[in-house]
Amino acid sequence: MLQVKPYEPVSSDSEIQHYFRILKRYKWGIFSLAFLLTLLATLITFTITPLYKATATLLIESEKANVVSIEEVYGIDSGRREYLFTQFEILKSRLIAQRVVEKLKLATHQEFIVDEKEGFSPVSFVKQFLAINVGKKQAYTVDELHHKTMRAVVDEYLRRLSIAPVRNTQLVKISFEAASPKLSALIVNTHAEVYIESHLESQLMMTERASSWLNERLAVLKQKLDDSEDNLLAYQNQEELVDIDGVKSIEARELQELNQQLSVARQKLQQSENIFNLIQRNQGSLGSLIALPDVLNHALIIKVSEAVQNSKTKISELKGVYGPKHPIMIAAQLELSSAEDNLASQVSLLISGISNEYKKLSVDVQNLEIAIKDKGTHYRELSRLDSRQQELKREVASNQQLYDAFFTRFKETKEVGEFESANARIIDPAIAPIIPFSPRKRVIVGVTFIMSILLGMGMVFVYEYLNDGIRSVEDIEQQLKQRMLGLLPKQKKLKSNALPLRHYFDKEQHAFSESIRTLRTSLLLTNIDKNVKVVSVTSSVPGEGKTTVSINLAFALGQLEKVLLIDADMRRPSVAKRFDLPAYQEGLSNVLSGTHRVEECVVRDEESGIDVLTAGTLTTTPQELLASQALADFIEKAQEQYDRIVIDTAPTQAVSDAIIITQQADSLIYVVKADSTRQRVIKQGLSRLGAMAGRIDGIVLNQVDLDKAAKYGEYHGYYDQYGYNTEQAQKAS
């Protein structure tokens, strides 16, 4: 017996290897698509008129302080980033573009006027548009036609123009694309010059407007200044004011002096009033009056009081020497009396003087108060006059200041208007380019080739995703969760013709023969521990080659055992036709219905040595016959006569006959056509069989293109692990 290694599942490759095999399988298609698209892109690229791009560098300077302060007239803060952004937008404006078009007369230039036969242009588009509308009886005036043409040319001009500021600088790149290198450079330089001229013109226009407005305002301000001066002069004449400031200052000093005098007088009056009140209270007693501090401390009173005291001291000394009648004592007494009378007289005079001084001070205080009141009234009147005068003077000064400011600004504007500095200058003027900017033929061809490769790869992956047929051992094990019993290589034949019946025995067909033997070996090894006699063969849909597998498997088993091949596909039988038996040949249906005996229906194939039982006479109730007890009895008796029974059943997706027959089979082989039947259909068939039959021995992958598979490595090692490959078979032969 042939010694064969047990079947081992083929290990699955990585995802990257899987994708690589897909790309390898379709590599020529991908490269063909890339070649065609690249060739097409190349042809198109070489038919495109080359465009040259000239670039100039422009420096947009922030506005600096002019010789005179006139920036406010323009109202632009050039120190901010918004100023630069504004200038960038002005550079891209239609106004600048239209001025360049008019200055260079681009509307009549060959670059912008192309005949309809030569291609598209804005002007030709306008002509076509006008021609179409002629039928609508829509007429245009010369101005309207010129406007439409100019608008189209400006649109085309702006489409070719590009403005790109240089980051973190005040530089800006001005570029233009044209078929003529010289024209592109000329347009770029002209565009920069027109922008600078436009700025100067706008400055001049604003200066003229400012000068005109200032001139108008000066006349108004001059009139207001004259009116305010007239009002001041009229007021001074009306109030007879000469030097109100000097008079007011004198009045202020006098008022201040009167207030000081009044303060001193009031203090004196207060003191005098106190003394006067004390005197009034002690008016009857001389001693009390003399005891008053103001009287006692008076110099004259002190002197007279000392004379009285001396007289008293003298009398006191003389009393010890002389008697009261002594002339000396009498003279001393007379001297004392004269001194006391003098003291009383002096006190009376002093009190009379104090009273008179009190009255005088009272009158002085009253007079000072009246004088201060009159002086204050006069001072307030002067203040009112001075306030009104100062108000008129301030109005005159304000009008004078405003007039002077406007007059100065008017002079500045007039002088500055004669000299304006440009806000930009050309740092690097454009020169005529030598190399075309577009189309970039190499880049286009290279990018097209790369994108075509990527497109082809994407299409391949999409196709592989949509076409989910079984192609490899990996698909069988991972997608179907089944083992692979064998595969049959694709044979060269006409599509309308079936595989020759004796193809298995053809010595030239080594690969096919070895694949059938491999299938036989796998089946025997799979059921080595069981006595499997009845083998059922089915598929998902018709055309997958289940009958071919059944017949050739029976041939291979017939070389080792006694085999019976049964055609149980009673709806579309094909075994009889393959064996060149008549269509009316009695078979399984006749046996099950009891019209014929088994011996009458079985046909012996002498070349292969197997017995064949065809489907027999067609019946309208094939499923009832297969589900009857007669089939079970027939299979049981056939097992006594044959070592192996191979049953060709109907597809699982068409009818349920295969499910009924598998109940009587020991082994089930499921045939799948490579890269054809969808996985969903196969899984549904396997699911139905698995639920009813319980066990499926494996999958036979039919019609495998081994040449393609060998290139892509999808079945590499499958034959080698058994020692069955074409080269070895040829050498063995």
- Over residues 28-58, the pLDDT tens digits come to 889 999 999 999 988 888 888 888 899 999 9
Handedness of CA 599, 605, 609, 612 (dihedral sign): negative
Domain 244-387 bears CATH identifier 1.10.287 = yes
Contacts of 287 (CB under 8 A, 6+ apart): none
CA distance 514 to 228: 128
Count CB-CB contacts under 10 A for residue 184.
Answer: 26
d(CA 669, CA 648) in angstroms, rounded, equals 10
495 token code pair: 């599509």
Domain boundaries, the chain: 244-387, 470-492+504-712
Please, which residues have CB within 8 angstroms of residue 512's CB and are 6 or more apart in sequence? 488, 489, 491, 503, 504, 506
Residue 174's pLDDT is what? 92
Cα 7 to Cα 485: distance, rounded to the nearest angstrom:
9
Q: Which amino acid appears at position 376 of this protein?
A: G
For residue 611, the cross-strand partners are 564, 604
Q: Which residues of the chain have pLDDT under 50?
A: 1-12, 65-78, 114-123, 132-137, 419, 712, 716-717, 719-733
Whole-angstrom Cα distance, residue 601 to residue 641?
15
Quote the distance between the C-alpha of residue 131 and its chain's center. 45
Strands 603-605 and 484-489: unpaired
Measured distance CA(707)–CA(694) in Å, rounded: 36
What is the spatial distance between Cα 531 and Cα 561, in angstroms, rounded to a whole number?
Answer: 13
Alpha carbon of 138 to those of 51, 129, 131, 147: distances in Å?
A: 37, 11, 10, 16
**CATH entry, 470-492+504-712, from 3.40.30.10, 3.30.465.10, 3.40.50.920, 3.40.50.300:** 3.40.50.300
Distance CA 399, CA 117 (A): 75
Are 689 and 696 a contacting pair, CB within 8 Å? yes
* pLDDT at 120 (0 to 100): 43
> Exposed, middle or buried, 488 (CB in 10 Å: 0-12/13-18/19+)?
buried
Do 535 and 523 touch, CB atoms closer than 8 A?
yes
Report which of 341, 340, 321, 318 is spatially closest to residue 331, judged by C-alpha positions: 318
Q: What's the pLDDT score for residue 76?
A: 45
3-state secondary structure (DSSP) of residue 60: strand
What does the alpha-carbon distance between residue 383 and residue 377 come to, in Å, rounded to a whole number? 10
Q: Which residues contact 559 (CB under 8 A, 6 or more apart)?
A: 609
β-strand partners of 174: 56, 163
Beta bridge partners of 716: none
Residues 6 or more apart in contact with residue 402 via CB below 8 angstroms:
221
What is the C-alpha separation between 657 and 625, in angstroms, rounded?
10
> What φ, ψ does residue 400 adopt, rounded to 5°?
-65, -45
Helices (H) and strands (E) in the chain, counts: 26, 12
Q: Are 649 and 689 in contact (CB under 8 A)?
A: no
Q: Are 87 and 424 in contact (CB under 8 A)?
A: yes
Phi and psi at residue 688, to the nearest 5°: -65, -45
User: How high is the pLDDT of residue 348?
Assistant: 67
Residue pair 583/617 in contact by the 8 Å Cβ criterion: no
Q: Is the dihedral of CA 376, 380, 385, 390 positive or negative?
A: positive
- Amino acid sitting at position 582: P
Pairing between strand 610-613 and 563-567?
parallel
Q: What count of other Cβ atoms lies within 10 Å of the Cβ of residue 622?
A: 23
99's tokens: 């001025």
Q: Taking the CB of residue 590, how many other CB atoms lie within 10 A of it? A: 22
What is the chain's Cα-based Rg?
Answer: 68
Phi then psi for residue 562, to 5 deg, are -90, 120
> 662: Cβ–Cβ under 8 A, 6 or more apart, which residues?
536, 538, 649, 668, 689, 692, 693
Contact 161, 101 (CB under 8 A): no
Alpha-carbon distance of 650 to 130, in angstroms, equals 73
Residue 283 is which amino acid? Q
> Is the separation of the CB atoms in 232 and 389 below 8 Å?
yes
Give the pairing of strands 52-60 and 171-178.
antiparallel
Rounded to whole angstroms, the Cα distance separating 235 from 385 reads 9
Could you tell me if 648 and 567 are in contact, meaning their C-beta atoms sit under 8 angstroms apart? yes
**Percent of residues, the chain, with pLDDT higher than 90:** 14
Question: Given this model, what pLDDT does residue 294 score?
Answer: 57
Q: How far apart are CA 146 and CA 407, in angstroms?
A: 47
Residue 3: the pLDDT is 32
Residue 381 and residue 244 in contact, taking contact as beta carbons nearer than 8 Å: no
Residue pair 195/90 in contact (Cβ under 8 Å)? The answer is yes
> Between 27-47 and 15-25, two packed helices, what is the crossing angle to 10 degrees?
60
CB atoms under 10 Å from CB of 546, counted, come to: 28
